[in-house]
Structures are given as structure tokens and as C-alpha cells.
Chains A and B, each alone.
Chain A
Amino acid sequence: MRSIRTAAAIAVVAALALVLAACGSSKSSSSSSGGSGGSNTVSSSGYQSPTTQSLEGKKGGTLEVLDETDFEHLDPGIAYYSLDYEVVFATQRPLYSNKPNTASEASPDMASGPPEVSSDAKTVTVHMREGIKFSPPVNREVTSADVAYAFQRAANPNVANPYLQPYFKAVEGVPTATGGPIKGIATPDKHTIVFHLTEPKGSFVANALVMPISAAVPKEYAEKFDKHKPSDYGNNQVATGPYMFKNDSSGKVLGVGYFPGKSATLVRNPNWSASSDIRPAYLDEIKIKIGGTNSVIGRQVLEGKNVVENEPPAQNAVRLAAEKYKAQMEISPGAGSHYITLNNSHGPFKNENLRKAVWAALNRTAMDKARGGKLVTDVATHALYPSSDPKWNEVTGFNDAGGLEGPKFDFNEHLEGDAAVAAKYMKLAGYPSGKYTGGETITVVGAKGNPAEQDAEIVNNTLKQLGFTTKFTLVETATMYAKYCNVPKENIDVCPNVGWIADFADPQTILNITFNGKYIVQTGNVNQGQVNDPAINEAATKAENVSGASARAAAWADVDRKIAEGAHFVPYDWDKQANIEGSGVHGVGDLWDVGEWDYSWTSLK
């Protein structure tokens, strides 16, 4: 449920779910890749794919990165944005992390082995690698106390980690923590950390350890920065990963290795040893230039050599790449989904048949064309979204829920929209002319910027064709969420640009707080349609406690079907993220992070 700000712009979502993960991250029982739908979502040949990319590379060299926008947060305890992750995961080592080519299987990183979850699921024990050292100026060995401190400071209001509560609230003491020691986090020895839980949610907490919140932070060094409001540890951070921000002898990064809005420089961490890590870290240095114009950057990168862009490239760059530089573009499926929320609790869309009419009438192919066409989108047919990682499609229930084709309802059948089916549901809704004559003006709040506003305009047009009078407004993406769509009392009827992406391969992270009525809250509500259907609530609440990967997949696939059956929302896009590189780069993209180039695996040819 990470917020990603892709071209698609899925905005900051502060409130996350109680998430119960599927079983531990270590099993690899599946491996039967011959299956339905999912894996062939990688479109057309010639482009790179994060699933099939080679992880081998040549050592050495400097990579240049061009990005239009700056990072949001470089502090590993705060970072929660796909662009930030690329720097955070090159400089920091959480307890667990995903290899680039998987979205569903975490490997031990700072940990020395898989997490040990007790049989009552109330204790999670993690053993850590020995001999890992912090970068200069700290230079000492990383211990479990440093990981414990990372969690403590996450609760500090000066740090205010956005996902500590939703993911770790089961850890004893976390709900009331404000920066001091957390009762449920114990460090019996220098290389063991134990999480004591108040609820049997051990496997979920274990899975959440892939988040950068578990990256070690040296207390004696960071404490003084964490006293500032907001903490400026990010500007003085030390690294455990293969790279570190260039800093001065006191550890200062700001003005040395990071110039906000201008540039950042990553150099090798002298205290990192390859033998202790899964990352090869081929590059010697990464120079990040911030600023410029996305559409110009796209051309510079495609025509350049040792250079990449980590932002979603502009539409013209995607087109240029498709025409002339196919091999320099990677297409990464599983980059989240976009859908229209219709207000289920207020106004005309309380009526199920009206919702179905909108779904039937919407030309989803046109919606996706406005986003850049088939290359970067699949037409969505239900809420769970696919990845090119076959295991993802299995464990999330995507395959069970009908795969790419989705559930078979007449309103879901015609991707280009079907006026006859729409008219049928308008009639069922009590409008025999096929046009809405209820007289209510409906509010539509969309997001500015290409392609969101184009999608919003298509939706607005579709509503008008169905006879609705609309009040149509476009606002900044963050405003759309924070002031309108995520605030139930605003009673926005239609939010055409809602997006969602999961942090883990677990269907609950996609469907629960977004459609389970019991999680509707007054601010930061991510169930924008205020879906509060007893059948969905019951099925979802039951599914929360189902264990075992396939059972969970089936349970959530059932929830997914119920959401589609009642047309509680209208899906239109499953994102595939394009990322571009120069001709001299062997880029390795992170399937788990919308295909962003991973500096620790990328190399120069």
C-alpha cells in the first residue's frame, strides 16, 4: 500500500491497513509457472522486463541519473515513495529485502536467515548477520540495538514514520510509543532482535520487515538529530548498504552529498563488504541530477550513454523509445492499479444499477490509451492486479479472481464500453429512457496533470452521456486525496483518478481498507467510494484471519468477486511502468518497486 507518485500519481496514503500477510517469506514451494493469465502480461517483445533481466554485470564506472523531481525523504525511517526507495535501498539494509526480479519473495538482508515466527504467532525472532559496519564517521559494528532504535525513532513525532502503526501496531508498546524504548522489542544479544506481539499476527509483522523502517540507525550518533523537529538525521545519515551519500568527516550529507532540488551523490561505502550482502553493487558512483523537464530528460537519457531516468518517463520519451530505442526501455507490470470510485453511501450511486451502467458505458480502452496505450497499461477488469511475477498472481488471488479477463459480468465484457448494456442497467435503475433524470448534480473531482486529467475528462464525458449533470473539478493530486476523495464527509460522488499499490504480495493489502466498510475513517479514508456492503465486510473480515497462501488467495479472490459483482467501483487500468536508460547502461529494475532502476544491481556495459 505504498504511495507511489508515478506519472499515474498514486498519492500519499497515510492510513494503512491492518494487514495479515500470507505465510513467511522463505518458502519456495510454488515454482509452477505454467499457469493462467498473469505471466503473459508483459507486453510485446524487444523491451526489457524485470522478470527476465540478467543480474550479471561488469564492475566499475559512474552512473548518471536525471530526475525532474527531488526526493521526498532520504531518512530511511520516513521514506515511503518509489523514488526515495532507490536511494534508501542502495544505502541502507533493512532486515529483509526483495531481489529486483521478484515482487513476492523477500531475502534476508541484514538478517542472517528467515524470521522465526513462534507457533502462537505472537513472537518474531530475527537473527542478524555479524560483522556489518556503519559507514564513516560511525564505523562500528551494527547490532540489534541499532534496529531497535530504528523502530523507536520511527515512533518519535520528529520522525513520524507513516506506516509504523498500521504494520507494527501488534508489537507490544508500539501503539503508545513516542520515541522511547518499545516494550515489545527485545535484544537478548548483540545479533538477535525479538518482537513480542499482543495479537497472533507474527507472519504479518515478519513480512513487514522488508520496509526500510528496519534499517539500523546508530543511536549515539542519530539521537542529537532526532531531537530536532523535524529530525535531520536524513541530512546526516550513515549507511549500512554498499553505497553512502558523500559526506564530510562529521557525517554531514546536506551540502556535501545532497543539494536539495539540485543533486545528490552516492559513493561506495568503505565499510561494506560484498561477502555479507546479496547485492553485487557493480557501480562505483551514482550522480543524481535533480531538475529539468521530464520530456527533455527522456530524450537526453535515450540518446545518452551512462545515464538513466528513475522517474516515469514522459509520454513522448516512451514513444521515442518504442520507435528507436526499444532495448533501452524496461516495462514493469504490477505497478499498481487505477480505478474510479463511486460514492456507495450517498447520492445517486447508492443505486447498484447506476454503478453498473457507468462501468458498462465507460470506454476503458480509451482510458488506457490516454495513459499511453497497451505498452504501459492493461485494461483492468477487477480490483486485484497482475504482475509478471507468477507467484504474485498466485498468492494475491489474481488468478483465482479471473486473471486478466476478470469476472464474467455483462457490464465487464466490453472493454470499449457498451451503450446497450449501459442502457439496460439505466432501465433497471428506473430510468427507462436510458438517461439519468434524477436531477441531482454529481461532483467529480479529478487530478491535474497528464494523463490523470485526460482520464477524468473521459469519465466526465461518459457520465454526461448517461444523462448526469456533473460539477467537474481538477485539483492537484495530493489535494484530491487529502481534501476531497479521502474525506467521507465531503461526499464526492465520483473520484476518477484513484490509484493503489501494495507493499507486499498479499491480497489483503489491496482489498481490505479500500473496500471493507469497517475501515472507513473520517480523514485519510482510502475507501473513497465508502463501500460498506455487509457481504463484502463479512467476507473480508473473515479472510483477514485465513492462513496459508492458497486459502488466503481463494478467500480474497471471493472478496474481489463481490466487489466487482456489485460494481462497487469501476476499474480501468493495471499499470505497467516504463523506465528508460542510456545505451551504455545495463539497467536492472525492481519489479517490487514499479521497475525503478536498482543502483545496487545496475551496471555499465
Chain B
Amino acid sequence: MSIGGTEALEASESGGALQFLDFGGEIAARSPSQLFWRRLRRDRVAIASAGFIVFLIVLAIAAPLVIKILGLPGPNVQNLNLTDEFGSPLGPTGSHPFGVDQLGQDVMSRVIYGTRVSLEVGIIGTAISTLIGVVVGLLAGFYRGWVDTVLSRAVDVVLSIPLLLLGIGIGAACGVRGCLSGAIQPGLGVIIFLIAFATWPYMMRIVRGLVLSLREREFIDASRALGASDLRIMFREILPNLTAPIIVFASLQIPTNILIEAALSFLGVGIRPPTASWGQMIASATPIFATAWWYMVFPGAALLLTVLAFNLLGDGLRDALNPRSAR
């Protein structure tokens, strides 16, 4: 320990010149990914956000274990003895650090389980919309002409559908019996589908624009001259060049999707109770906020921090990948 400390001290004392030399010494070429990691590592905010997100993922996966370790009741355990004589929930105590809700369910336990819903929706929804957006964007940008016209108009149509209204409509129409003879049932699946359906056009437009310019470049002509198929050109030549903007855009899409889920659940058309979801908890806390602030504050804070973390990480990725300079 002490030895290491001294070394570190010496290193910092040795001054800027030495450091400059150190850096200068590694003139060896760096791959774009090495550059990316170097830049990202220097962004403390992004690293902290990434750490928080990893923590959330672990929390979501290990929710039952975490709750057991913390000695909390399950998220759906009702106990009306934890409400006062007027039915108002009791606030934070040692055994219920975040207090309880109107049914005496432990708020902390529900916030932890709510992480699952938010991450599932954020990550799976974004993955699906990215996949669709990238493929459609590649096709439209690469083939141009009528393919582009058809796909771009389709995107215009999808973009003109109001997501929240669609969600409310599906929630109202398919609430009890489901739609299409039970194929559509409100719940996690529909939310993910809705989000993917409503957000892929943004990705598509970005990808299409980039492909339109990339396809005119010499390396594409070169590979075409070599006899590469369209598919190969699209997915092996063009796509790798789009990695950076796709990653950046997807990372910024995740928090948006988490918020959409919260909004739909807040409106009562998202996750069905008793499954815990932050949006739904906030909705059900609204009428009793005056007497039970904890019921809104903790899920609200969880939502805020999660969305903030994803946004900051997205910003960090964008800076690190620097796609705007578009070489």
C-alpha cells in the first residue's frame, strides 16, 4: 500500500513534461474503439452514470435476493395494519425505509421491483425499435427511388400516430378481454410493442440520411466493382460506419422509452397492478400526496435518477464517439 502510494506521488510530482513524454511515447496507432474508451474514461459523469445503470441492472435481476437481504416483504404483500385508522399509509420506518402505500405494501420493495419493468421496457423496447429502424433505414437509403418513397411515407404515417392516445385506446379497447381474440393483452408486451412501433422511425430517418451520403463514397464503388452483393454492401460495408450514431441515438432512446412506460402506466393503460411500476405508483400516490409524500417521492426519485443516468451516459457516449464530426 504505502509503496504504491509513494509511486503515485512521485509520478504526479514528476510534472507535465514527463507525462507529455509518456503520452507521446505511445505513438502507435489506436483503433477508433481505443480512442473511444480513452475519451469515455475521462468523462467522470458518464462513468458514474454507467456505474449506476449497472447497479440498476443487478438490482433488477437480483430483486428477490436483495429484498430478502434487506428483510423487506415482497412487493405485493398487503398489510392494512400498516395504515392508520383513516386508511392513510404509514411513513418510513426502520422496517419499511420508504414507507408503505394505501394497501400496506412496502414502497421500497415495489420500487426495487419497478426497476425490472423500467429496464425491460427501456432496453428491449429500444433494441426492437433500433433493429427495425436500422434495417428499414438501410433499405430506404441504399435503394432510394420508390423503395425510399414507400418507406419514408410509411414513416411519416407512423410518426403522425399519437403514441399516448394509441396507448390509451388500446388500453380501453383491449382492457379486459384483449384484442384480436386475446392476442393483444395490455401489459408489458403491449407496452414494449407500442414503444418499438412508435419510435423506430426516428432511428430510421437518421440511418437513412447517413446511408444516402455513404453510398456515394468511393469504398462502396470499390466493393461494388469487386462484385459485392447489395446485402453485403449494406450490412458489411455501410453498417459498421453507422455504429457510432446508432449507439448514441439508442442510448438516448432508452430513457425516453422508460418515461413513455411511466406515462402510460400513470394513465392506467400500462403495467397492470399488482405488478409494481414506477409510473403506476406515482399515479396512485397522487391523491394522497398531502398525507403520504413518500409514496410519490421514492418512485419519482427512482425514475428521475434512472432517466438522468441514461441521458448522461448517452451524452458521454456521444462526446466520446464524436459522431458529429463524421470524418
Q: Which residues of A contact B (CB under 8 A)?
A: 294-295, 299, 314-316, 318-319, 322, 363, 365-366, 369-375, 443, 445, 448-451, 453-454, 457-458, 460-461, 471-475, 479, 483-484, 490, 492
Contacts and interface: CB of A to CB of B under 8 A. Distances in A.
Contacts of B176: 443, 445, 471, 473, 475, 483-484, 490, 492
B281 to A, nearest CB: 12
25 contacts: A294-B287, A295-B287, A295-B290, A314-B287, A315-B87, A315-B291, A319-B84, A319-B86, A322-B86, A366-B78, A366-B80, A370-B87, A370-B102, A373-B87, A443-B176, A445-B176, A449-B287, A450-B287, A458-B78, A461-B274, A473-B176, A475-B172, A475-B175, A484-B176, A490-B176
Contact of A461 (B76, B175, B186, B289): B76
B268 A474 contact: yes
A532 to B, nearest CB: 23
B86 A373 contact: yes
B172 A454 contact: no
B273 A315 contact: no
Given A316-B291, A490-B176, A492-B176, A370 B80 contact: yes
A465 to B, nearest CB: 10
Interface string B124-158: 00000000000000000000000000000000000
Interface string B58-89: 00000000000000000010101001111110
Contact of B289 (A295, A366, A448, A490): A295
Given A370-B87, A373-B85, 19 more contacts: A294-B287, A315-B88, A316-B288, A319-B88, A363-B80, A370-B80, A370-B102, A372-B86, A375-B85, A445-B176, A448-B268, A451-B87, A457-B78, A457-B274, A460-B273, A461-B274, A472-B272, A473-B176, A474-B273
Interface centre among B80, B85, B291 (most CB of A within 10 A): B80
Contacts of A294: 287
Interface string B268-294: 100011100000000010011111000
Interface in B157-181: 172, 175-177
Q: Using C-beta atoms within 8 Å of the partner chain, give the interface range for chain B.
A: 20 to 34
A370 B88 CA distance: 8
A316 B290 CA distance: 7
Contact of A375 (B86, B102, B103): B86
Contacts of B186: 473
Closest 4 CB pairs of A and B: A366-B80, A316-B290, A319-B86, A316-B291
Nearest to A456: B273
A369 B272 contact: no
A479 B172 CA distance: 9
Contact of B80 (A318, A365, A443, A490): A365
B236 to A, nearest CB: 47
B80 A316 contact: no
B225 to A, nearest CB: 60
Contacts of A471: 176
Contacts of B87: 315, 369-373, 451
Given A451-B102, A453-B273, A471-B176, A318 B284 contact: no
Nearest to A472: B272
Contacts of B86: 315, 318-319, 322, 372-373, 375
Contacts of B76: 461
A151 B193 CA distance: 54
Given A472-B274, A492-B176, A369 B83 contact: yes
A449 B286 CA distance: 10
Contacts of A472: 272-274
Contact of B287 (A315, A445, A474): A315
A381 B268 CA distance: 32
Contacts of A369: 80, 83, 87
Nearest to A449: B287
Nearest to A484: B176
A365 B80 CA distance: 9
Nearest to B175: A473
Contacts of A451: 87, 102
B78 A461 contact: yes
A455 B284 CA distance: 13
A457 B273 contact: yes
Interface in B227-269: 268
Interface string B287-310: 111110000000000000000000
A223 to B, nearest CB: 40
A449 B274 CA distance: 14
Contacts of A318: 86
A450 B292 CA distance: 14
B295 to A, nearest CB: 11
Nearest to A298: B290
Contacts of B102: 370, 450-451, 454
Nearest to A321: B86
Q: Which of B78, B172, B268 has the most CB of A within 10 A?
A: B78
Contact of A450 (B172, B268, B284, B290): B284
A404 to B, nearest CB: 19
Contacts of B80: 363, 365-366, 369-370, 458
Nearest to A479: B172
Contacts of B288: 295, 315-316, 450
B163 to A, nearest CB: 21
Nearest to B174: A473
A46 B120 CA distance: 52
B289 A457 contact: no
Nearest to A319: B86
A495 to B, nearest CB: 11
Nearest to B85: A373
A135 to B, nearest CB: 39
Contacts of A366: 78, 80
Contacts of A299: 290
A35 to B, nearest CB: 28
A365 B83 CA distance: 12
A371 B83 CA distance: 11
A585 to B, nearest CB: 22
A475 B186 CA distance: 12
Contacts of B85: 373-375
A334 B211 CA distance: 72
Contacts of B274: 457, 460-461, 472
